[in-house]
Structure 1
Amino acid sequence: MAPHNDAPSPSSSYSAGFNRGPYRSVATSGLMTSRLGSMEPHSPISSSCSAASDAPDLHMTRPLVPGVYVPTMCFFDEATEDIDTDTIARHAVRLARAGVTGLATQGSNGEAVHLTHAERQLVTATTRKALNDAGFAHMPIIVGCGAQSTRETVQLCREAWEAGGDYALVLPPSYYAPLFAPSSETVVSFFTAVADASPIPLIIYNFPGAVNGLDLSSDTIIRLAAHPNIVGVKLTCGNTGKLNRVAAATRKMAGDSHDPTRPDFLVLAGSADFTLQSLIAGGHGILAGLANIAPRACVRTMELFRQGRVAEAQAMQEVVAAGDWTAIQGGVVGVKCGLQSWMGYGGYARSPLPRPTGEQARSWKEGYRELVMLEKSLSSSSSS
């Protein structure tokens, strides 16, 4: 693999072909070959990335539509902690077959902070190839691309595009937040600069718990939504009032061209435990880690609401919310433990995250029990 070239790429036209049509962006310079950072010269992944990057439909149009999006897990060999591409591929196909709308790699559930740049590309390329090979080439992949500097964030966006990603999920920088200009001007400038340079559209990731409490206001999100290369937001803050304001304002911005089946700006709840609340507030769906364990239950909850079967949707939401509380308490460690306990795979998180104790494993398994029984019943009914 060729080494990273840290010099700015030459400007060129790139027709994104996503929800808002063509967008002029900075094209990558010789980066479409599979490659490895100069600090990662011994990685064994070059052939995997190259094979996926050469797929002819790698950058076909995959619009964002309302539905359930899943921030997928990253799986590791139990002994070596090397990337387990086989399990990553099987898991992605399992989720796709359950009816989810799209997948996200390199999120909190994907342990992006534990991965090198090359490993990130491997995970995304593996996911893209698995979906393509299983007949889900139409399914979009969102890739977590947040970093503390504008420069590295743009680099991650370019690498996500090379690996087959369709959209970049970007956290605001936070390490030097006390030095930021007032009224979120630094954050606005950051997202604007990244969106100007990224070859793929951006989704804003508002997750105060991951960024030292930095919580973007609805005013800031609505202001950023006017950028042609910023096409959505994930609100893990749980503020449904904010979600309502953003959904309403961006719908009005679209005017007569607004299409509820393909919105210009996708507004997603960041947790499954307020799926119905977000839909009532005008949201378009969820991007939620719980769907790794129970994708059909998350999908069915939305379907029931859309069909006007509100009481049934509420009953299912109660089970989903109870299961999500277990996921929230255990984090990525608990979700993997749930997968291992109930699905027979999942393994452990990469160190320094701890391995669950026997007591934790039993507690989390029990916490997911009702949800998993619901999931299995939905799986049986869909196959009968």
Structure 2
Amino acid sequence: MATGPPPPSGIYVPVPTFFQSFDKYAYKQPLDHDAQAEHTLLLARAGVTGLILCGSTGEAVHLTSAERVELISRQKKVLADNNYDNVVIMAGTTSQNIDETIGVIKESKDAGATYALVLTPNYFAVAGGYSEEGMREWYVTVANNSPIPVLVYNYPAVSNNLQLSLSLMKTLSKHPNIVGCKLSHGNMSHHLILSSSPEIEHQYFRVFTGLGQQLLPLLLSGPGAAGAIDGTAAYFPKSMIRIYNLAGRIRSGDATTEEWEEAQKLQCAYSEVEEWVVKFGTVGIKEAIKIVLGISVGQAGGRLPFSESHLTREWEKFREVFERVQDIEAKL
């Protein structure tokens, strides 16, 4: 077991995995390393704190083990070759199998990741097969055997609606190799409690929201509030970073009335554009990257069974809110 400090506070981007255009009915599109590198450098230049590779947005469930390793190692090299060694790489570890989870973490560490974002196991969640004790032991065993620090990833929408309890999260926060969590759910109360509770040593356990809509209220809550790991930041990173920086000035008492108003207006605009991700998830993020940034995302937006064909007619409904944030982004 390796122990280390929690990840630095800031804005992290769950990065999509880019694929080459290919026969739509081929069972596997090749990785597009050029598009991946282009996107990585765009985010690094914008000033993001870190990248999450091979997470939910990265379609980890559609990747082979070898592809995960190749993806992490190549992006680590791209960052190093362009003097962005300060950008943190966090690896997603999506597996129901505890042995495989630990194996993925070890491979990710060897490829260049410094943290592991560990999704809650969930296959039997609706079949009554899980207890709080079992979930606790699962995470403790993973953390005990992980060569890099672990963050708990609680994302009910992809986990059979499994919601980890506050008591379990508080217990896990005490493990020396569990250094934080990503909460991708709408229960703001859990965000605020875990970032403020006196039962948690917040210098060792940091709380990140997976929903950019919640960034400002989270950052104004408690000492454990660390930032966001947010999909919309994949194409609007500067706006998210600006909210983060304004929140820092508000917390320190240095913000002017104008900065307060800017933070509120920007959070509102960002929250509206985030509704696109709420509705269309990973495929929506890739479609927005294609339209906003002009980066090729590959055919069908992702590997089967993903398809982006229904998004074209939906885009017009969101055009106005996207253009509003694009104008803000261009000025930052």
Relative to the length of structure 2, the TM-score reads 0.89
Contact 1:338-1:365 at 8 Å conserved across structures:
no
Contact 1:326-1:367 at 8 Å conserved across structures:
no
Counterpart CA distance in 2 for 1:93 and 1:210 is 29
What is the match of residue 255 of structure 2?
Answer: none
Could you tell which deviates more after superposition, 238-247 or 356-365? 356-365
| Cα distance per residue 1:180-233 (max 9 Å; x no partner) | 353x11110100111011111110001111100100111111100111110010
Counterpart CA distance in 2 for 1:172 and 1:226 is 18
1:281 aligned onto 2:234: no
What is the match of residue 66 of structure 1?
Answer: 9
What is the match of residue 274 of structure 2?
Answer: 324
1:125 aligned onto 2:73: yes
Q: What is the CA distance between 1:253 and its match in structure 2? A: 4.0
Q: What is the CA distance between 1:84 and its match in structure 2? A: 0.5
Could you tell which deviates more after superposition, 99-108 or 286-295? 99-108
**1:173 partner letter:** P
1:269-308 to 2 correspondences below 5 Å: 269-282=209-222, 283-308=225-250
1:140 aligned onto 2:69: no
Counterpart CA distance in 2 for 1:79 and 1:180 is 41
Gaps of 5+ in 1: 1-13, 20-62, 379-384
1:341 aligned onto 2:281: no
What is the match of residue 231 of structure 1?
Answer: 179
What is the match of residue 171 of structure 1?
Answer: 119
* Aligned CA-pair RMSD: 1.7
Larger Rg: 1
After the TM superposition, which segments of 4 or more aligned residues of structure 1 sit over 6 Å from their partners? Answer: none
Gaps of 5+ in 2: 24-28, 251-258
| Cα distance per residue 1:102-129 (max 9 Å; x no partner) | 1101112111111111111111112211
1:341-360 to 2 correspondences below 5 Å: 341-347=291-297, 348-357=301-310, 358-360=312-314
Contact 2:115-2:149 at 8 Å conserved across structures:
yes
What is the match of residue 105 of structure 1?
Answer: 53
Match of 1:78 among 21, 36, 58: 21
| Cα distance per residue 1:14-56 (max 9 Å; x no partner) | 755x21xxxxxxxxxxxxxxxxxxxxxxxxxxxxxxxxxxxxx
Counterpart CA distance in 2 for 1:376 and 1:330 is 24
| Cα distance per residue 1:117-164 (max 9 Å; x no partner) | 111111111221111111111221111112101111111111111111
Higher RCO by CA contacts (8 Å cutoff, separation 6 or greater): 2
Counterpart CA distance in 2 for 1:329 and 1:211 is 17
Q: What is the CA distance between 1:371 and its match in structure 2? A: 1.5
Q: What is the CA distance between 1:316 and its match in structure 2? A: 0.6
Could you tell which deviates more after superposition, 122-131 or 208-217? 122-131
1:376 aligned onto 2:330: yes
Contact 1:337-1:356 at 8 Å conserved across structures:
no
Q: What is the CA distance between 1:273 and its match in structure 2? A: 0.8
SS of equivalent to 1:284 = strand
| Cα distance per residue 1:313-371 (max 9 Å; x no partner) | 11110111011011221211111111111211142212210123431344455552212
| Cα distance per residue 1:57-109 (max 9 Å; x no partner) | xxxxxx61111111011100011620011111111111111111111011121
Match of 2:129 among 173, 180, 193: 180
Counterpart CA distance in 2 for 1:126 and 1:243 is 34
Percent identical across equivalent pairs?
A: 33
Q: 1:253 to 1:214 in 2, by over 3 A?
A: closer
What is the match of residue 7 of structure 1?
Answer: none
Contact 1:338-1:364 at 8 Å conserved across structures:
no
What is the match of residue 38 of structure 2?
Answer: 90
